[in-house]
Amino acid sequence: MAQQERFDWWAAQPLGRTAVREAAKARQTAPTARPAVVPAQAAAPVPVAAAPAAPEPPVVDAAEVYRAVQASEAFQDIRRSYRGFVFPATGVFLGWYLLYLGAQAAAPELMRRQIAGPLNVAWLGGLLQFASTFVLTWLYARNARTKRDRAALGLRWDTQDQLR
């Protein structure tokens, strides 16, 4: 696991390890059943003592693992929180940018209207584009940090363990 050591920025690494072992055991007893992927948070951080007790099946079907993970509730949560934020946000900023861009072509008179001092609607719109970019960056990062990161990382180790 040399790879794991490079991700020491995240403390949640061992989470979900036991869940994976259990899943592997379940697969052994009932090979046709999809491995149950337990959300990372649900697993208690137990020492690795259980590990040698659960030998991996010799050949892992990667496609099956990925399909199982994809179908799992934990993954669907991640996917939902990602798409649920990113798609509307993209619509908003692209729409707002194209509206602003289109206004130069379609409504130059409106853009020329003075607001305060030398500032007119066009400049205000431009400065608001800067502001909205910064705000959306921050919102996206906050969403990712609070809603996705931990679960995605747990699922990552889960999936990788199953693939080994």
Partner 1 sequence: MTSNPAVPPSAMMTANFRPAPDTGPYPAPAPASAGHLAPVTTGAHHNLAILLFAVVVLVTLAITLWVGRRGQAAEDFYAGGRGFSPLQNGFALSGDYLSAASFLGVTGLIALYGYDGVLYSIGFLVAWLVVLMLVAELVRNSGRYTLADVLALRMRERPLRAAAGSASVVVTLLYLIAQMVGAGSLVTLLLGTSSGQAKTWAIVGVGALMIIYVTVGGMKATTWIQIVKAFVLIVGAVLLTVLVLIRFHGNLAELMRSAAQGSGHGQAYLEPGLKYGATATSRLDFFSLGLGLVLGTAGLPHILSRFYTVPTARAARRSTMWAIGMIGAFYLMAIVLGLGATALVGAKAVQAANPAGNTAVPLLALHLGGGAGSTAGVVLFALISAIAFATILAVVAGLTLAASAAFAHDLYARAWRRAARPEATEREELVVARAAAVVIGAVAIVLSLFAQQLNTAFLVGLAFAVAASANLPTLLYSLFWSRFTTRGAVWSVYGGLVPAVLLVIFSPVVSGAKTAIFPGVDFHWFPLENPGLVSIPLGFLAGWIGTLTSQEAADPDKYAELEVRSLTGAGAA
**111 part of the interface to partner 1, by CB under 8 A:** yes
Task: For residues 36 and 16, give the distance between their C-alpha atoms in angstroms, rounded to a whole number.
Answer: 12
Restricting to residues 4-43, name those near partner 1 by CB under 8 A: 6-7, 9-10
Strands 119-120 and 114-116: antiparallel
Q: Cβ contacts of residue 68 below 8 Å, gap of 6+?
A: 34, 35, 37
Segment near partner 1 (CB under 8 A), from 15-23, 24-32, 45-53, 86-94? 86-94
**Is the CB of 26 or the CB of 103 nearer to partner 1?**
103
Q: How many CB atoms lie within 10 A of CB 37?
A: 24
**79 part of the interface to partner 1, by CB under 8 A:** yes
**48 part of the interface to partner 1, by CB under 8 A:** no
Rounded (to 5) percent helix, strand, coil in the chain = 70, 5, 25
Closest C-alpha among 52, 135, 22, 55 to residue 89: 135
**Binding residues vs partner 1 (CB under 8 A):** 6-7, 9-10, 62-63, 66-67, 69-70, 75, 78-79, 82, 86, 89-90, 93-94, 97-98, 100-102, 104-105, 108, 111-112, 117-120, 122-123, 126, 129-130, 133-134, 136-137, 140-141, 144, 148-149, 152-153, 155-156, 159-160, 163
